[in-house]
């Protein structure tokens, strides 16, 4: 049997009991693999790395060294949630790295989307490697690889590397406790491990984060407009019961201004574009039919609460021809 093939005998984890059994089995397997060594993990706060972290905390406690890098492109409240859940509630050995200035300085003036992605990816590896080199006695690197990652890289659809590209002196042995799980199973295990619903049922969020939603060269003020408008959209979707029902929803702020009027004065401000799509595997997407009253409420809140914005638009373009993200 290939090391990267899900055993055919493995039952789909669809109940809390099966999730508990999986956790028990993995805790034993992790302990057998790593013994009393320390394990490093890049904890983004996404579903896969969070479930992986919670499993490792259950298995080896303080010997897990979880590193959360705040690259300044996270959504409102995300770094705070990672600290609250993992450091305060689960008593994890969590290293929080505030790398906001470092990332934003490197990204200043860069408008090409692929270049932005490359800078974010490389800087992430550099920051993570620096933290890893500060730690002593680390022999293992845990990754929240899941089964679709393995299948997609086998099919050549995408190169799967969670923290690929680490320098050679950081030649760790991998620990990948959820690598045979499908997304729904990862969520079932996360729930059984006591992670909050907001983390377990989170919508997909790209690695480059809000960086690809602040179209063109990122500026701090426009990034703030993306973050604040995204927070309003998520809050209103949650209040309307759409959280967990709509596949992915977010806001985009293009590098474009138009005329408006506020307090009898002419303004020259950005538009916020709302995007809400449904999809199965992100290769195609349809548009969520948001009720007009909800669109109106979100629009009014964004115009009242977000600085530098004078219009709100709804993107009606399916994938294809558009992509889900704007960059």
Tell the smallest beta-carbon distance from residue 238 to ligand XMP (Å).
19
Among 117, 139, 191, 311, binds ligand XMP (CB under 6 A): 117
Cα separation, 32 vs 270, in Å, equals: 55
Positions 257 through 286 that interact with ligand XMP (CB under 6 A): 282
Kind of pairing between the strands at 265-278 and 286-287: antiparallel
Q: Using CA atoms, how far apart are residues 143 and 41, in angstroms rounded to an integer?
A: 6
Contact of 189 with 178, CB cutoff 8 Å: yes
Least separation in angstroms between residue 158's CB and ligand XMP is 9
319 three-state secondary structure: strand
Q: Specify the residue, 153 or 299, whose C-beta has the smaller distance to ligand XMP.
A: 153
Q: Of 231, 31, 217, 239, which is closest to residue 110 (Cα–Cα)?
A: 217
CA nearest neighbour of 222 among 252, 250, 245, 244: 252
Residue 148 Cα distances to 77, 159, 201, angstroms: 28, 12, 17
Q: Residues binding ligand XMP: what is the number (CB under 6 A)?
A: 11
CB of 99 to ligand XMP, least distance (A): 18
What string of DSSP letters covers 281-315?
SSSSBEE----HHHHHHHHHHHHHHSTTEEEEEE-
| Strands 265-278, 248-252: pairing kind | antiparallel
72 scored as a contact of ligand XMP (CB under 6 A): no
Q: Which is nearer to ligand XMP, 190 or 206 (CB)?
A: 206
Of 20, 176, 315, 325, the residue at the interface with ligand XMP (CB under 6 A) is 325
The CB-of-325 to ligand XMP minimum distance in angstroms stands at 3
Radius of gyration of the chain (CA): 21
Per-residue binding string, ligand XMP, 170-209, x by CB under 6 A, is ----------------------------------x-xxx-
CB nearer ligand XMP, residue 48 or residue 236: 48
| Residue 93 and residue 62 in contact, taking contact as beta carbons nearer than 8 Å | yes
**Closer to ligand XMP at the Cβ: 105 or 323?**
323
Pairing relationship of beta strands 258-262 and 265-278 according to DSSP bridges: antiparallel
Q: Is 74 in the site for ligand XMP (CB under 6 A)?
A: no
Does 315 help bind ligand XMP (rule: CB under 6 A)? no
By CB under 6 A, residue 46 contacts ligand XMP: no
Residue 248 as a binder of ligand XMP (CB under 6 A): the answer is yes
Is 51 within 8 Å of 193 (Cβ atoms)? yes
Q: Is 319 in the site for ligand XMP (CB under 6 A)?
A: yes
287 binds ligand XMP (CB under 6 A): no
42 lines the binding site for ligand XMP (CB under 6 A): no
State in angstroms the smallest separation of the CB of 205 from ligand XMP: 7
Which of 49, 310 has the CB closer to ligand XMP? Answer: 49
* Separation CA 163–CA 176 (nearest Å): 12
Residue 164 in contact with ligand XMP, rule: CB under 6 A: no
Q: For the CB of residue 191, give the shortest distance to ligand XMP in the complex, in Å.
A: 22
Structural tokens at position 123 = 């800087």
User: What does the binding site for ligand XMP look like in residue numbers (CB under 6 A)?
Assistant: 117, 204, 206-208, 248, 282, 319, 323-325
């Amino acid at each position: 049997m290939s090391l990267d093939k899900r055993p055919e005998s493995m039952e789909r984890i669809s109940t809390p009991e099966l999730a508990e059994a999986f956790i028990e089995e993995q805790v034993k397997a992790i302990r057998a693999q790593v013994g009393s060594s320390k394990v490093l993990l890049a904890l983004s706060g996404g579903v896969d790395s969070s479930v992986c972290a919670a499993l490792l905390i259950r298995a080896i406690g303080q010997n897990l060294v979880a590193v959360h890098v705040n690259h300044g492109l996270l959504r409102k409240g995300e770094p705070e949630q990672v600290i609250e859940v993992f450091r305060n509630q689960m008593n994890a050995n969590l290293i929080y790295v505030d790398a906001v200035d470092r990332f934003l300085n490197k990204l200043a003036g860069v408008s090409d989307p692929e270049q932005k992605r490359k800078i974010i990816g490389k800087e992430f590896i550099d920051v993570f490697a620096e933290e890893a080199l500060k730690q002593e006695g680390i022999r293992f690197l845990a990754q929240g690889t899941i089964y679709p990652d393995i299948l997609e890289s086998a099919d050549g659809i995408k190169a799967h590397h969670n923290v690929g590209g680490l320098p050679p002196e950081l030649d760790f042995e991998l620990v990948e406790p959820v690598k045979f799980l499908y997304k729904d199973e990862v969520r079932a295990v996360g729930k059984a491990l006591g992670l909050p619903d907001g983390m377990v049922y989170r919508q997909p969020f790209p690695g480059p984060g809000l960086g690809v939603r602040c179209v063109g060269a990122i500026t701090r003020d426009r990034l703030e407009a993306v973050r604040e408008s995204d927070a309003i959209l998520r809050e209103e979707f949650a209040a309307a019961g759409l959280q967990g029902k709509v596949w992915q929803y977010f806001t985009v702020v293009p590098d474009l201004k138009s005329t408006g009027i506020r307090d009898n004065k002419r303004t020259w401000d950005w538009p916020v574009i709302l995007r809400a799509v449904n999809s199965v595997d992100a290769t195609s997407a349809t548009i969520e039919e948001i009720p007009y009253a909800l669109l109106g409420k979100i629009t009014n809140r964004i115009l009242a609460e977000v600085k530098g914005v004078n219009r709100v638009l709804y993107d009606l373009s399916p994938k294809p021809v558009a992509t889900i993200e704007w960059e």
